[in-house]
Amino acid sequence: MSVRRCRRWRRAHGPARGRVSPSTLAGFACARQLAYAAGMDYAPPDTPLAVLHADHELLVVDKPAGLLSVPGKGAHLADCLIERLRGPFPEVLLVHRLDRDTSGVMVFALTPHAQRHLGLQFEKRRIGKRYVARVAGTPAEDAGRIELPLIVDWPNRPLQKVCHDTGRAAVTDWKVLRRDGDETRMQLTPLTGRSHQLRVHMLALGHPILGDPFYATGAARDHPRMMLHAETLQLRHPDGGRTQRFRAPCPF
């Protein structure tokens, strides 16, 4: 059910009392999705910073799942990775983001020069990114490429959707690492960097990422976290241009 339909349901039905019907259960699921989108259930993990690399230009960290990359709207969404980094690294500058429930490698700049240099690498798609995901079901093929344009689903934002008319080009390579019963461990390589790209592409493939609070449903959604992890990031160092590759081991 879409967020817009959820709002209609809540206006029509209000809080449930007594016996719980299937439609009421659907409404509860909608309410959870709305609460998530608004950050009402935001409970960031109280874990120490995991610094993978730091020098005079770069700061590379392993972001935990459940922590925003940058502040959201409202005081209850102020706690985030970049604010936690400002204590030991007051000069830290944002370069890119990971979704709240995605864990893994993030790079920050420590100088304006590094921020510009890294920003251009992301813009020109010269950054190498590789993710690990656990998805629902088992793909028939062992590998493939998804080329589906994406656009924000405005009535249900921040959700994204496939749109062949006005969507922006989005490309993801995928590879099966291991099939395990009714789920599959996959390696995902985004060749573009659209919002929720891997999540929507896996949904379009018919294998949503386990634990995804927006795009998974039923048993696939019922996991302690979203099973998506940014495992490696490869870039050219802003000082000298040497290639460097950083890795954060997958926690699931």
Find, among 104, 27, 114, the residue nearest to 63 by Cα: 104
Bridge partner residues of 179 (DSSP): 184
Query: In degrees rounded to 5, what are phi and psi of residue 218?
Result: 60, -135
The C-alpha angle with vertex 145 and arms to 219 and 107, in degrees rounded to 5, equals 80
**C-alpha Rg value of the chain to the nearest Å:** 19
Distance between CA atoms of residues 177 and 163, nearest Å: 29
Find, among 213, 236, 194, 238, the residue nearest to 31 by Cα: 213
41 carries an active-site annotation: no
Distance between CA atoms of residues 42 and 27, nearest Å: 20
Distance between CA atoms of residues 70 and 120, nearest Å: 20
Q: Which of 99, 101, 153, 212 is catalytic?
A: 99
Between the two ends of the chain, the Cα-to-Cα distance in Å is 29
The catalytic residue positions are 99
